[in-house]
Amino acid sequence: MEKLGVKALKREGVGKEVVKKMRKMGFIPGIIYGKDINVLIKVPIPELKVLKEHHFSEGNLVEITLKDSEDKNDIIPTIIKDVQIHALTEKVLHIDFLKVSMEERIKVSIAVVLKGEARGLKEGGVLGQILWELEIEALPLDIPERIEIDISSLDVGHSIHVGDVNLGDKIKIIENPEETIVILTAKKEEAVEEVEEGPAPEEPAVIKMKKPDEEKS
């Protein structure tokens, strides 16, 4: 797990107007929660750059330097649990951080990345990825940023399942071992059906709408 550093401030007040004003001032609202903490925060927009570069992945330890109203700083180890993004502008609207302990195992969902070119593709096979994330359990510093799976030896008709993935003794995969991650299927031949030509369909009746000046007063 890679460590990322982010600065944030404690915030007060809730509601649409408060949040709207906050965003205009260059901050993104968020929260840090956990067993012993539940605090509202605001993150300066420039601080999001490093999180975006890592695709807001749960596989990164985010150390938040939190400043309160008395200018006291606390460094809180967290992971990102949820990010709300505007559907049209793709701007970040809100971030949830979960405080973690370096001595306690946690469950997170990590992206699956396929590596290499499947051997069966040269035979006309079609590659299909079924699972894009795997839920795992591990100590924070043992969590990988992504899970890489080599598919170079995959032939047509073969697949890779969760049970085929080995992440070592420190990481436990929570998913069903029988679940398929990726499969290489044979390309289906496109069947062209011949349709007998019948009589041409009658043209639909056209209804002419009156213009306002054509209507009777």
DSSP sequence for 27-80: EEEEEEEETTEEEEEEEEGGGHHHHHHTTT-TTEEEEEEEE-TT--EEEEEEEE
* Interval 66-95: pLDDT, tens: 987 666 788 999 999 999 998 888 889 999
Residue 206 confidence (pLDDT): 45
Which residues of the chain, if any, have pLDDT below 50? 190-192, 194, 204-217
Q: Which helix (H) or strand (E) holds 203?
A: none
Task: Tell me the HSE value of 52 on the side-chain side, using a 13 A CA sphere.
Answer: 10
pLDDT of residue 55: 87
Task: Check residue 71 and give its pLDDT.
Answer: 66
Domain topology for 106-185:
RNA Polymerase Alpha Subunit; Chain A, domain 2 (2.170.120)
CATH 2.170.120.20, the chain: domain bounds? 106-185
CATH superfamily entry for domain 2-99: Ribosomal Protein L25; Chain P (2.40.240.10)
* Helix, strand or coil, per DSSP, at residue 22: helix
Across the strands, what pairs with 113?
Answer: 148
How many CB atoms within 10 Å of residue 205?
A: 5
pLDDT for the residue numbered 216: 41
Separation of alpha carbons 48 and 46, rounded Å: 5
**CATH 2.40.240.10 spans which residues of the chain?**
2-99
Contact between 165 and 147 under an 8 Å Cβ cutoff? The reply is yes
Residue type for 146, please? Answer: R
For residue 197, what pLDDT is reported?
Answer: 55
- Please give the model's pTM, rounded to 2 decimal places: 0.73
